Structure 1
């Protein structure tokens, strides 16, 4: 009854304008319904349970981890930081010694993400708004590169970079590989986003005397921030969690990332669950921070351009 009264009150208001029945409006109403909220909460809880169990296990003593499940922690709660201290700062060969590998992962991931995202943004801008011969064919070629399996390109790229493995302290080859492998998807996603920008903005910029570089820097980049954030998250998670490329293009503990060391621990120390659980959670910290800090841009980037109305 109250909802009916409020509806009549809104309609009686001379400034009231009913929401148009567009695709965007219908999708917005369905995603904000009570049932959608309940489903989202259930999915979030189910998705979080394994991560919570991993975290609890990483804080339990070695004997408790090997004899009982993590859910028994609530009956006899016992916490310790010895697992993290051993796996991160341990000096023995059997310990994780993940501190240096953690730094290697940062040194690999941050430059590779910056290179791939920045080059993809400039290439997408050129393919979207700069007129030159063969532009459409280049975009088709970039799109087609997405179907090339990563495993087929590893050996040719490795041979290409064989003479440059010492550049950048040994990290140049893996930077180059991650940048090349991430460009096709990045260019495709950003091109679809940029192509929907209003043409009037670019015409007004040309009238004001702005060149392509200034237009990209002052107009395009601020408008595609959600798309850039989404692509940054994808690239960061993919590069941080990568094992195959790291195994091929890095050598020795001086350049290898966390994923390689965790794989070694799982292969040679499979019974040391206290090290594996704490090491796995150490590798999850940075991706979680990146995702949580950019999640609002991530959602906006995924939904932008998805519906029109």
Structure 2
């Protein structure tokens, strides 16, 4: 009897595992199909891209659309300079947002030990920024950068604006990872005379590094896909950023299908590469969070 029950449980486990694998495969296919279609569309002629089935391989593959999208032509901006400009903005924005967000999360973590209600109240107010639509602060943001700070249409202005929205996001995410750290380690460091700066970066940070990387990747992907801030805070061709430049291929020139596909692929290259090579660290951070939530 026990043998039959054990065999039944084993069979049931195999069925569950098979279902999970099938669901994972379907989700992966759904995720890859748009990318596959864009890559193929960029290799087709405009006529073939507009008339043939989207998943059908090109009859005569050509990289002309990718060359056009990368270098541009006449009044249509190429994506090469705009991508380089955007990297100049995105990289410091991400690093500063996550580092300052980590320090902010630690501040509220320490404050909660002495004034829990005050900490929760202030942190909740700050966290509201993560849910605040960017469109609602368009005019105050432009007014601040033009009339008071004089950084409108500059790299510093874009970095400043992105940090306004993504420092709270980083702090919110890092505050989830901080409770994973055993409190006795912090108390021991304090007994040994360590200050908060030393405790954060020498004691806590090595333990929450997977969470830091997860937050870094998440914030990078969010900022890279940000369209509205570069749109409203730049107004000259030499400050045109990648998300806005890619719009030229999908809006005013939407009928040029193959170039639209090519521009979409080029715009997606950096986040794709980042996630392919660092995706495992993102998963590790989530796994570390799960372990901390269970008291590990």
Report the TM range for the smaller structure's normalisation.
0.7 to 0.9
CA deviation profile, 1:6-27 (whole Å, cap 9, x unmatched): x9xxxxxxxxxxxxxxxxxxxx
Does the Cα contact within 8 Å between 1:89 and 1:97 map onto a contact in 2? yes
How is 1:149-160 mapped onto 2 (pairs within 5 angstroms)?
A: 149-160=133-144
In structure 2, distance between residues paired with 1:305 and 1:88: 40
Counterpart pick for 1:250 among 234, 246, 249:
234
In structure 2, distance between residues paired with 1:164 and 1:280: 34
TM-score by length of 1: 0.82
Partner residue in 2 for 1:21: none
In structure 2, distance between residues paired with 1:219 and 1:78: 58
**Alpha-carbon shift at residue 201 of structure 1 (Å):** 1.0
Partner residue in 2 for 1:164: 149
**Alpha-carbon shift at residue 220 of structure 1 (Å):** 1.6
Does the Cα contact within 8 Å between 2:36 and 2:55 map onto a contact in 1? no
C-alpha RMSD over aligned residues = 2.7
**Alpha-carbon shift at residue 165 of structure 1 (Å):** 4.3
Partner residue in 1 for 2:196: 212
| Unpaired segments ≥5 residues, structure 1 | 8-28
Please, which moves more after superposition, 106-115 or 293-302?
293-302
Partner residue in 2 for 1:18: none
Give the secondary structure class of the aligned counterpart of 1:70: coil
How is 1:253-264 mapped onto 2 (pairs within 5 angstroms)?
A: 253-264=237-248
In the alignment of these two chains, the number of paired residues is 281
Matched, 1:231 2:215: yes
**Alpha-carbon shift at residue 301 of structure 1 (Å):** 2.2
Counterpart pick for 1:281 among 249, 262, 265:
265
- Pair 1:102–1:204, CA change in 2 (3 A): same
TM-score by length of 2: 0.85
Does the Cα contact within 8 Å between 2:129 and 2:165 map onto a contact in 1? no
Partner residue in 2 for 1:117: 98
Partner residue in 2 for 1:90: 72
**Alpha-carbon shift at residue 217 of structure 1 (Å):** 1.2
Does the Cα contact within 8 Å between 1:165 and 1:172 map onto a contact in 2? no
Partner residue in 2 for 1:308: 294
Partner residue in 2 for 1:23: none
In structure 1, distance between residues paired with 2:31 and 2:132: 31
Matched, 1:35 2:16: no
- Pair 1:281–1:165, CA change in 2 (3 A): farther
**Larger helix proportion, structure 1 or 2?**
2
In structure 1, distance between residues paired with 2:151 and 2:175: 34
Counterpart pick for 2:167 among 171, 183, 201:
183
CA deviation profile, 1:53-93 (whole Å, cap 9, x unmatched): 111111123332133123332xx642111111111113422
Partner residue in 1 for 2:86: 105
In structure 2, distance between residues paired with 1:154 and 1:93: 28
